Structure 1
Amino acid sequence: MTALDLTFACLDYDRTRALQDGRVRPEGIALNFLPLPVEETFFRQLKHHEFDVAEMSLSSYVLTLDRPDPPFVAIPVFPSRYFRHQSIYVNTGSGVTRPEDLAGKRVGVPEYQITAGVWQRGMLADEYGVDPFSVRYFTGGVETPGRSEKIALDLPDGVSVRPIGPSETLSAMLADGSLDAVMSASVPSSFGRSPQVKRLFDDPKAAERDYYARTGIFPIMHTVVVRRELLDRHPWVARSLTKAFEESLRIAYDDLRYRSALKVMLPWLDDHVAETVSALGEDWWTYGLEPNRHVLEVFLRYSFEQGLAKKQRRPEELFAASAGSAYTI
C-alpha cells in the first residue's frame, strides 16, 4: 500500500519531536512535518486551510464548529497545555492588587477568543467572582500594532470588546496606564523593564499548584485538527495519527526520565520532574477524551458563557469517532 502523503504544521515540541525526526511513523502515512510558530500555523490554517493536519487553538477550533460547514475535525491530542495565572499582568497604579479588583477594569487581550483568555476569564469568574461581562476588553498586538481577531465574532450584548489604535500595543499601554491589566500568552516586554508592570499573582506557581489541587485542571491550550474532507475520504487517518502522537508522547516522557545523561539542558531536571509528579501526578500530560473529559467540559462551558460558542457542546462533539481511545502514561 502506498503511504498517504500528509502535511502537518506544528511547533517544535519535545512531545512531537519523534514524529518530526522519523522515529515514529504513523501507519499508512508519510508525514511532512512543518515546524512553524503557532500563530503562523493558526492563521494559515484558519484562513486558507493550507495543511492536512495542524496544531490548532482549542478556542478557535471550537468556534469553527458553529459554521454551517465546519472545515476541521480534531483528534484527542493536546500538544500545548499551560497554567495561565502567571500570564496576567497589571499596572501598579491601577488599583488592582487582588484578582477580584479586575471587575470593571480595562484589560488588554491579543484577541478575545484566544484560548488563554477563555481560561483566564473562566478561572477569574469561578475562583474570584469576576464577571467576564463586567470587564472592558481591548484587543490588539502585544508588541506589534495591527493584530485583529482571526475569527469573526458575533458576541452578545453586554460584552465590551474594542480594538486599540492602529499604532498602539498592549505592552506599551499597560506600562503607561492606558490599560489596567493585560492577559497574554506571551510576556509583554514592559514586564521587567517598567516598574509600573507586575504580575497579578505575586507567586503564580503556588497559585497554579493550589488551583490544580482543587480543580484537577491543567488547562489545554491546543489540539490537533485534520481537514474534514480528508477524514471523510480516509477515516482511518484519525486513529493512525492518534496512535503516532501517543507513541511520540511516550518517548518524550522517557527522555525526561533518562538519567545517564541530561537530554534537556536543566541541571536539576530530576528535581523538576519529581516536583511535577508530586503536584500533578505521574500522568500529568495525557491525550485522549476520557482522561481529559473534565478539563474539556469546563472549557466548553467557559466558551459558551463568555459569548463565544453558540452552544455548550459536549467533549464527544469535538473529536473524530474513528480516533479511538488514547494511551495514558
Structure 2
Amino acid sequence: MTMNRLPLTLACWDYDRMRALQDGTVRPEGIDLTYLPLMMPEPAFRMLHHGEFEIAEMSLSWYARTVHLTERPFVAIPVFPSRMFRHSSVYVNADSGIESPEDLAGKRVGCPEYQMTAAVWLKGIMAEHHKVPVDSVTYVTGGLEQPGRTESPMTLPASIRVEPVRADTTLSEALRTGEIDALYTAHAPSSFADGSGRVRRLWEDHKSAEIDYFRRTGIFPIMHVIVIRQDVLEAHPWVAQSMVKAFEQAKQTALAPLSETTALKYMLPWLADAVEESRAILGPDPFAYGLEANRSVLETFLRYSHEQALIPAPLAPEQLFAPQTLEVSRI
C-alpha cells in the first residue's frame, strides 16, 4: 500500500476504457487501487450477495432494485462501463412464424432472467416501439447453456407471466426444438451458432435497426454501472468524486488510439472507418459518463423497470447516484 493512500479493490471486466486503471497509468486521487478483471456477471453477483469488493461493476437492473431498500448496500456513481444495442440479441425459432417484432405478442419468449438488464431494455423497446405489451408475452427463464439457473425472487402482478424452463433443458435447446418461440439473451445461443438454420436473429440486419433506433430516440442503452459500497462512502465520501474523475481519465486514454492511422494498434483492418462511422452517428463520445449526458437514457430505463414491475415506485435518475457526484457529472 502506498503511504497515505486508501487501499480499495475494484472488480470490473478489463474493458479498453478501464485498462489505464488496471495497469496504473491512471491512479485515482488518494486511492491505492487493486483492479480485479472479472467478467460479468461475477463481480455483480459477488457484490450483490456478499459485498466482497469496495467498488464493482453492477447490472443496472439489479442495482435499480436495491435503491428502494431501507439500507442500501451500495451507491452508484455515474460511470457506465458497458453499453450495447440489443436488437442483435433477439433470436427466434425458424418455424415460429415470427417475421416481425409485432409477431412476438402471444408467444413464449425465453430470457435467462426476467430482471436482467438486456431483457428490461428489450421488453421496453418491444412495448414502446413495436406494440408488444409486456403482459402479452409468456417469459420462460433458466440457463442459456446449462440447466438449473434461477433468479432472485420477484413479486410480479398476475398479468405478467414468468415460468421456468423445464429443469432438464436449456433455453438454447428449447429455442431449437420450438418449446419457446423466441429468446432475449446477451450471449448468442449455441443453437444459433451451430449453423443448422433452426434458429435465426429476428433482425437479420440488426445494425441498421439499431442505427434507426438511435436516430429516433437518441438512446445507446446502458447495461452496467459502477457501485461503491455504502460503508466506504460513509467513511470516505470523497472516494466517489475521485473515482469518477479517474474513470473519465482512463476512458480518454483509451479513446486516443482508436483514431491513430499511422499503424493499427488493434487487429481490425477497417478500424478507422468504424470509428468515423460511429462518431458520425453517435457523436464523439458514445460512452459518455455523467448524469446529464445520460438523463434521457436513464429515465427511459427506469420507466421500463417500473412498467415491468421490477421497482415498486418510479425513480428519478438522481436517486441512483452518490449526491457528491451530481455536480461533477455536469462538468
TM-score by length of 2: 0.97
Please say if 1:130 is aligned against 2:132.
yes
Kindly provide the CA deviation profile for residues 93-143 of structure 1, in whole angstroms up to 9, marking residues without a partner as x.
Answer: 111110000011000000000000000000111111100111000111111
Q: Are residues 1:325 and 2:328 paired?
A: yes
Alignment partner of 1:161: what SS?
A: strand
After TM superposition, the structure 1 = structure 2 runs for residues 40-55 of structure 1, keeping only pairs within 5 Å, are 40-55=42-57
SS at match of 1:121: helix
* 1:265 to partner: Cα distance: 1.1
Match of 2:169 in 1: 168
Of 225, 239, 242, the match for 2:241: 239
Letter in 1 for 2:261: R
C-alpha distance in 2, partners of 1:298/1:326?
Answer: 19
Query: Please, which of 288, 291, 295 is the counterpart of residue 289 of structure 1?
Result: 291
2:129 maps to amino acid? E
Alignment partner for residue 3 of structure 1, among 1, 5, 22? 5
How far apart in 1 are the matches of 2:265 and 2:22? 17
2:121 is aligned to 119
Structure-2 residue corresponding to 1:270? 272
- Matched with 2:187 is 186
Q: Is the 8 A contact 2:54 2:228 kept in 1?
A: yes
What does residue range 85-100 of structure 1 map to in structure 2 within 5 Å? 85-100=87-102
- The residue aligned with 2:79 is 77
Contact 2:67–2:319 (CA under 8 A) maintained in structure 1: no
Give the letter for the 1:183 counterpart.
Y
**Separation in 2 of the partners of 1:126 and 1:206?**
19
Shift of the alpha carbon at 1:197?
A: 0.3
- Aligned partners of 1:313, 1:156: CA distance in 2, in Å? 19
The CA distance in 2 between the partners of 1:46 and 1:200, in whole Å, is 33
3-state secondary structure, aligned to 2:33: strand
Aligned length: 327
Residue aligned with 1:81, SS: coil
Alpha-carbon separation, structure 1, partners of 2:168 and 2:53:
32
User: Any idea what the Cα deviations from partners look like across 1:233-275, whole Å, max 9, x if unmatched?
Assistant: 1110000000000000101111211222212111111000011
Which residue among 205, 228, 251 is the counterpart of 1:249?
A: 251
What is the alpha-carbon distance in structure 2 between the residues aligned to residue 167 and residue 48 of structure 1? 29
Q: Distance in 2 between matches of 1:326 and 1:261?
A: 34
Larger mean CA deviation between 299-308 and 317-326 belongs to: 317-326
Greater CA deviation, 211-220 or 281-290? 281-290
Measured in 1, the distance between the counterparts of 2:159 and 2:72 equals 27
Report if aligned partners of 1:141, 1:147 keep a CA contact under 8 Å in 2.
Answer: yes
| Structure 1 unpaired stretches of 5+ | none
C-alpha distance in 1 between matches for 2:231 and 2:160: 35
Choose 231-240 or 273-282, whichever is displaced more.
Answer: 273-282
How many Å separate the matches in 2 of 1:162 and 1:181?
Answer: 15
2:148 corresponds in structure 1 to: 146
Cα separation, 1, equivalents of 2:4 and 2:81: 28
Partner letter of residue 184 of structure 1? T
Give the TM-score, by structure 1 length: 0.97
User: How far apart in 2 are the matches of 1:244 and 1:318?
Assistant: 20
* Other structure's SS at 2:20 match: helix
The equivalent residue for 1:65 is 67
- Paired residue secondary structure (1:78): coil
| Distance in 1 separating the partners of 2:314 and 2:251 | 30
Kindly state the Cα deviation for residue 39 of structure 1 after the two structures are TM-superposed. Answer: 1.4
Question: For 1:153 and 1:257, how far apart are their aligned partners in 2?
Answer: 45
| Structure 2: distance between partners of 1:16 and 1:283 | 15
1: CA distance, partners of 2:169 / 2:45? 21
CA separation in 2, counterparts of 1:327 and 1:287? 10
Alpha-carbon distance between aligned partners in 1 of 2:62 and 2:36, rounded to the nearest angstrom: 20
Per the TM alignment, residue 162 of structure 1 is displaced from its structure 2 partner at its CA by: 0.9
- In 1, Cα distance between equivalents of 2:234 and 2:193: 50
Whole-angstrom CA distance in 2 between matches of 1:155 and 1:229: 31
Secondary structure of 2:200's aligned partner: strand
Aligned to 1:104: 106
Which of 20, 35, 41 is 2:37 aligned to?
35
* Contact persistence 2:291–2:330 (CA under 8 A): no
**1:221-236 residue pairs with structure 2 within 5 A?**
221-236=223-238
CA contact (8 A) 2:292 2:330 kept: no
Paired residue type of 2:205: D
Q: Deviations over 1:261-297 (max 9, x none)?
A: 2121111110000110111111222000000000000
- Deviation of 1:327 (Å): 7.8
% identical equivalent positions: 55
